[in-house]
Structure 1
Amino acid sequence: MSRYRGPRVRIIRRLGELPGLTRKAARKRSNPPGQHGQAPRKPSEYAKRLEEKQKLRFNYGLSERQLLRYVRKARRVKGSTGQVLLQLLEMRLDNTVFRLGMAPTIPAARQLVGHGHIQVNGSTVYSPSYECRPGDQISVKPQDASRKLVAAYAEYPGLATLPTHLEFDKGKLAGKVTAVVERQCVALQVNELMIVEFYSRKG
């Protein structure tokens, strides 16, 4: 399944708040989209795991194949597979740009990276999936167009709180990764253990 490009409010009505996907707020309704007033049925265990997986996929803007690759990579790392999975996704360059406040959403951050507006350690990086590491310097390309675009975004960041593993100088439009993200700093409310269980049958 490819990356979702449809209505975002419809997704957050179904899955709940996804801070990386959109800043729009869904109108409160008693039924999720597509139910047409029917009383919601109690979800099965599979449905619960599927919903948690979908939260992760839509929030970080991943295709099903990409997410499966991250799950398999997390399994090979020592430690809790669920927490390692969240760390891998949080340390992506597009998410790091978003968490620094340089873009209002992860899709906007992905576009900044893809269009060559973002540099890592002084070199332009075009891959949103680039894995940031402690010590990496994240900055804006020195061209006026790039700086004006990011400066406008930085006035209204997607999230108000800067996580502890990042530092950001708003005047210089530059940030630094100081550590690997901690679990409590992940903005998305998700049960990562259910996601690991969902993929346990996929090998």
Structure 2
Amino acid sequence: MARDTGAACRRCRREGIKLFLKGDRCYSDKCSFERRAYAPGQHGQARFKKQSDYAGQLREKQKVKSMYGMLEGQFRQYFKKADQQKGVTGENLLIMLERRLDNAIFRMGFASSRNQARQLVRHKHILVNGKKVNIPSFQISVGDEISIKEKSRANPLINESLDAVERRGVPSWIEIDRAAYKSTIKAMPNREELTMPIQEQLIVELYSK
């Protein structure tokens, strides 16, 4: 599967915001963004005047793509589906992204980053309603029970992530049973709990041109 193999910290610096792509490292003093909070490259520290509307829209799209670890083709398909649904297109898009299995695993605290969550899914450590699912883009639904395979529960990365999840918090639409290494989807994700500064309307404007 195609994926972005570029340096994660450079993406945070390019967007001018922490995207928390490297898990616990992003909360420590080792975070590159804390030391160099400016865009990468020769002219990264230069101060530019006003950014064009198109540039702002493009950067917003790139930021959300990086956040959820997606390439252009896949992201565009999500937008098309969101546009075909009832309701506000931008909110539909974000909710669909939140409903991805890899994102849910990250939100539950079974992984310290979405990238790590994708690896857990692809290597078949994850069960959805008791069945193995190895598709990171699988869309979760209300009532789904997501758990760690019994043989994988001793994995130190999973346990370290569960110990650290309180630092970022768990959304109200997820109920976690730490002792049983499982979580239940109580409701659909909601826009209000997305704490990252995302202006989804800019993405809608970009794709609507």
Q: Deviations over 1:51-76 (max 9, x none)?
A: 11011100000110000000000011
2:34 corresponds to which residue? 27
| Rounded Cα–Cα distance in structure 2 between residues aligned with 1:158 and 1:41 | 39
Which residue does the alignment assign to 2:113?
105
Where do 1:79-98 residues align within 5 Å? 79-98=87-106
1:5 corresponds in structure 2 to 5
In 1, Cα distance between equivalents of 2:74 and 2:36: 32
Distance in 2 separating the partners of 1:151 and 1:169: 13
DSSP-derived class of the 1:184 partner: helix
Once the two structures are TM-superposed, the CA of residue 36 in structure 1 deviates from its matched residue by 4.8
The structure-2 alpha-carbon separation of the partners of 1:33 and 1:136, relative to structure 1 and needing over 3 Å to count, comes to same
How high is the TM-score relative to the length of structure 2?
0.89
Corresponding position: 1:55 with 2:63 = yes
TM-aligned CA deviation for residue 88 of structure 1: 0.1
CA contact (8 A) 2:98 2:104 kept: yes
CA gap 1:158/1:82 in 2 versus in 1, 3 angstroms: farther
Q: Conserved in 2, the CA contact under 8 Å of 1:99 and 1:159?
A: no
Gaps of 5+ in 2: none
- Aligned-residue RMSD, C-alpha: 1.6
Distance 2:45 2:119 in 1: 38
Judged with a 3 Å threshold, the aligned counterparts in structure 2 of structure 1 residues 98 and 158 are, in CA distance, closer, same or farther, namely farther
**Deviates further, 31-40 or 125-134:** 31-40
**Distance of 1:37 and 1:160 partners within structure 2:** 30
Letter in 2 for 1:18: L
- What amino acid maps onto 2:19 in structure 1? L
1:200 corresponding residue in structure 2: 208
Q: Which has the higher contact order (CA 8 A, sep 6+)?
A: 1
Q: Which residue matches 1:154?
A: 162
Change (3 A) 1:55 1:83: same
Structure 1 residues 200 and 173, CA, compared in 2 at 3 Å: closer, same or farther? Answer: same
Q: Which amino acid aligns with 1:4?
A: D
Q: Secondary structure at the match of 2:180?
A: coil
Distance 2:188 2:174 in 1: 9
Normalized per residue, the structure richer in helix is 2
Normalising by structure 1, we get a TM-score of 0.91
How far 1:117 moved relative to its partner?
A: 0.2
Identity across matched positions, percent: 38
Q: Deviations over 1:92-124 (max 9, x none)?
A: 000000000110000000000000000000000
Which letter maps to 2:153? R
